[in-house]
Amino acid sequence: MERTKDGAPRSTAFASAQEVARLAGVSRSAVSRAFTPGASISEDTRAKVEAAAAKLGYHVNHLARGLMRQKTGIVCLVVADIHTPYLSRLLDHLSRALQEAGNVVMVLNAGRAAGNVEAALRQTLNYRADATIVLSGTPYRSIAQSCLDSGQRLVLLNRDDHLPGTVNLAVDNARAARTAATLFLRAGYRRLALVSSAIGTPSLLARRRHFLEAASENGVAVRIWEGGATAYDSGLQGGTELLAADEPPDAVFAVTDLLACGVLDAARRRFGRRVPEEIGVIGFDDIEQAGWASYDLTTFAQPVGEIADWTVRLVAGGIEAGMEDRVFEAPLVWRSSVARTV
Amino acid sequence: MERTKDGAPRSTAFASAQEVARLAGVSRSAVSRAFTPGASISEDTRAKVEAAAAKLGYHVNHLARGLMRQKTGIVCLVVADIHTPYLSRLLDHLSRALQEAGNVVMVLNAGRAAGNVEAALRQTLNYRADATIVLSGTPYRSIAQSCLDSGQRLVLLNRDDHLPGTVNLAVDNARAARTAATLFLRAGYRRLALVSSAIGTPSLLARRRHFLEAASENGVAVRIWEGGATAYDSGLQGGTELLAADEPPDAVFAVTDLLACGVLDAARRRFGRRVPEEIGVIGFDDIEQAGWASYDLTTFAQPVGEIADWTVRLVAGGIEAGMEDRVFEAPLVWRSSVARTV
DNA sequence: CTGAAAGCGCTTACAG
DNA sequence: CTGAAAGCGCTTACAG
């Protein structure tokens, strides 16, 4: 920070409100008002301020503004596995919606390590975020509690521990999983299987549980394969092992589209199974690849648009205002990986 | 902001350095020093401060800190199409690397509209970001110039206008495109085609130009299909139209993996072509799907890890310090969509 | 509508 | 090593 000999303002690249005021021939307060929607200021002085600001290339310093106002405008998104189709799409919608509502989004990539979450939490606090949204499925109890303690607004996506003061947004996993089972049974499949990862995310667990329940209610047993990450490779391996077994399944519900694509490739490419005639597959998420010709997977769509819109409303309106937890429908997307009911 | 009747400090959820100082029995300055690496402070007072801070749940306010220091710690990532496999992976690496280096990342989703870029620019300036990194391929001249004018550090990814004061990071598109042509020719393919989108990104244009040049140097003409977004659907359509034509190609270089997957599906599913015997396909990016069994696409890998590491170095070290533009190799990833040279 | 003034929460020379 | 003081760039009652 350099300073001229005579004590004149240092030569930053940024103009300050002070300088704008000087040039416009108004007070420092007037400049503030010109950039505060709804502030009482005459058209005349506003025009003068705007002219001076434009000339000087002035940009309100939101750091300083955040110091005085209630809001910093910052919303933190805590997320792992950003590169995943579902999460990156959600991130896309969320960040766009949040921006349109006048917020700025800070992404805290929590990775997989537990320690990173603590770091993310600290940043959230250090930058005085107005709200933080946890997208990941792993239960970040510590981060949740600390944010609440600091009076931050907290939205939890796809989690099942309902911390008081928190808003929980989820998808109707139960309904979808039951639908999957019903679809298989109605179409005549009988040797059901479920493929999941070793990751015990609340969503994944819910899908698993309800699929099993629905099958059991119909007197049908379900083979279960679980392992690895929630990724294509796991699905490929799971599908392969399932089909190599003695009584291979003729229908598998993969708890995620990524897994489903792997299962599909195992079935078709490694075992030459015809889909959906010899084996039916259903996934979850409706990622882009589910619609690709090589897969054409029947699945359930994540309502990312609705989730994003609702989140924005929560962040803007506050959770006290009668807002509550919400469960979104995940509509079935019919494609060709399951035989249709006759 | 509420204030008690007697003028005592307002009841925020956050403790201030002032309060920590009081509880620890030291000066306000001492608290600052305790949280400034390298500051001169005795072990004794540091311990006292830390104890008090822990008791009060104190977190340094980085907004206020940013006001005084040179750095805010904020790095902006301007990006469109976050949901895309390549970009989301780059975002993942970049955000993780930046965080590990002590920065916090602000994502500015620029979408496709031109106006959004202006908004992103303004945010970058409003929050006094230390640096901004432009990931998108669309030429955001305006944003680039304004950031430079405000003394911000600017890193441009995959662009070709070398604004002074800016660092440009790119991938060796020329080499890759030439390699693609060579691979096809050596393997005996003769009716070459190129599939690209209607988006005139510098990278895409470079790949196109050099592929055409290399083919032409070998006396081979190239059919060109261009249209739509840089996405699977365009590849599917392009592949379909190309193969429906009078003299269908027997080898196509798709300027992107997403396009290549579409081409592959058109060839195999719609025309029953055997890959690589009847048609060879090469893509670019090495997105995850390129490795899936249904595609098994030969392609060029984006060095996302290297790009991320280098970007961090630029942001940390400053660009004056002998840092310069850099072109990364995109190594060939051999898979089965092209016949191997005999 | 407008300006002077206090204050947000921090850092950093400046003198001990 | 340590404290008092000035200052970062803004906003917001408070009086006109």
Measure in Å the smallest separation between the Cα of B108 and chain A Cα atoms.
7
What residue has its CA nearest to the C1' of D3? B27
What residue has its CA nearest to the C1' of C3? A27
- What's the pLDDT score for residue A318? 59
Round the CA-based radius of gyration of chain B to a whole number and report it: 26
How far apart, in Å, do the first and last CA atoms of chain A sit? 77
Q: Would you tell me how many other CB atoms lie within 10 Å of the CB of residue A2?
A: 6
- What's the pLDDT score for residue A306? 96
- What's the pLDDT score for residue B140? 60
- What's the pLDDT score for residue A9? 34
- Through-space separation of residue A9 CA and nucleotide C1 C1' in angstroms: 29
- What's the pLDDT score for residue B147? 78
In order, the DSSP letters of A52-77 are HHHHHT----HHHHHHHSS---EEEE
To which H or E segment does residue B76 belong? strand B74-79
Fill in the DSSP letter of residue B298. Answer: B
Tell me the average pLDDT of chain B. Answer: 89
Report the alpha-carbon distance of residue B300 to residue B318 in Å, rounded: 30
Span B209-225, mean pLDDT? Answer: 97
CA distances, A113 to each of A79, A117, A118, A119, A239 (Å) = 12, 7, 10, 11, 28
Name the residue of chain B whose CA is nearest to A57's CA: B150
Q: Is the pLDDT of residue B325 over 90?
A: no
- What's the pLDDT score for residue B324? 76
- Chosen for mutation from A124, A292, A312, A335 (greatest number of chain B CBs closer than 10 Å) is A292
Sheet holding A222-226, edge to edge: A222-226, A192-196, A251-254, A280-282
A54 contact residues in B (CB cutoff 8 A): none
Among the listed residues B269, A66, A265, the one whose alpha carbon sits nearest the alpha carbon of residue B261? B269
- Through-space separation of residue A177 CA and nucleotide D2 C1' in angstroms: 65
- Chosen for mutation from B107, B233, B237 (greatest number of chain A CBs closer than 10 Å) is B107
- Report the residue from B85, B151, B264 with minimal CB separation from A13: B151
Q: Do A127 and B95 touch (CB under 8 A)?
A: no
The residues near B12 (Cβ < 8 Å, ≥ 6 apart) are A151, B1
Give the pLDDT confidence of A146-175 residue by residue, as tens digits.
777 777 888 889 888 777 888 889 999 999
How far apart, in Å, do the first and last CA atoms of chain B sit? 77
- Report the residue from B1, B63, B269 with minimal CB separation from A294: B269
- What's the pLDDT score for residue B1? 32
Q: Do B96 and A119 touch (CB under 8 A)?
A: no
pLDDT higher at A324 or A306 = A306
Q: Is the pLDDT of residue B131 over 70?
A: yes
Give the pLDDT confidence of A90-132 residue by residue, as tens digits.
999 999 999 999 999 999 998 776 567 677 878 899 999 999 9
Report the alpha-carbon distance of residue A144 to residue A243 in Å, rounded: 42
- Report the residue from A84, A104, A126 with minimal CB separation from B106: A104
- What's the pLDDT score for residue B162? 78
Fill in the DSSP letter of residue A1. Answer: -
Q: Is the pLDDT of residue B137 over 70?
A: no
Name the residue of chain A whose CA is nearest to B119's CA: A99
In order, the DSSP letters of A252-264 are EEESSHHHHHHHH
Tell me the average pLDDT of chain A. Answer: 89
- Chosen for mutation from A61, A107, A302 (greatest number of chain B CBs closer than 10 Å) is A107
Q: Is the pLDDT of residue A338 over 90?
A: yes
Q: Would you tell me how many other CB atoms lie within 10 Å of the CB of residue B13?
A: 12
Q: Do A13 and B236 touch (CB under 8 A)?
A: no
HSE-up of residue A109 (Cα within 13 Å, Cβ side): 26
Whether A219 and A207 have beta carbons less than 8 Å apart is answered as no
Give the pLDDT confidence of A18-36 residue by residue, as tens digits.
899 999 999 999 999 999 9
CA distances, B200 to each of A78, A237, B12 (Å) = 34, 40, 51
Whether nucleic acid strand D comes within 7 Å of the CB of A334, the answer is: no
Q: Is the peptide bond before B331 cis (omega within 30 degrees of 0)?
A: no
Q: Which nucleotide is nearest to B29 (CA to C1')?
A: D3
Whether nucleic acid strand D comes within 7 Å of the CB of B70, the answer is: no
Domains of chain B as residue ranges with CATH: 17-60 (no CATH), 74-170+304-328 (3.40.50.2300), 173-302 (3.40.50.2300)
- Report the residue from B104, B108, B125 with minimal CB separation from A127: B104
Span B152-159, mean pLDDT? Answer: 87
Q: Is the pLDDT of residue B238 over 70?
A: yes
The pair of structure tokens assigned to B257 is 């993996």
Measure in Å the smallest separation between the Cα of B71 and chain A Cα atoms.
11
What residue has its CA nearest to the C1' of D7? B68
Residues of B from 15 to 44 whose C-beta is within 7 A of strand D: which are they? 26-30, 33, 40-42, 44
Q: Do A82 and B88 touch (CB under 8 A)?
A: yes
Give the pLDDT confidence of B81-122 residue by residue, as tens digits.
899 999 999 999 999 999 999 999 999 998 776 567 677 878
Q: Would you tell me how many other CB atoms lie within 10 Å of the CB of residue A27?
A: 13
pLDDT higher at B341 or B275 = B275
Q: Give A268's pLDDT tier (boundaries 50, 70, 90).
A: very high
A265 contact residues in B (CB cutoff 8 A): 292-294
- Nucleotides of chain C in contact with protein CB (under 7 A) are 1-5, 7-13
B72 contact residues in A (CB cutoff 8 A): 63
Sheet holding B104-109, edge to edge: A326-328, A167-171, A153-157, A131-134, A74-79, A104-109, B104-109, B74-79, B131-134, B153-157, B167-171, B326-328
- What's the pLDDT score for residue A205? 95
Report the alpha-carbon distance of residue A90 to residue B82 in Å, rounded: 9
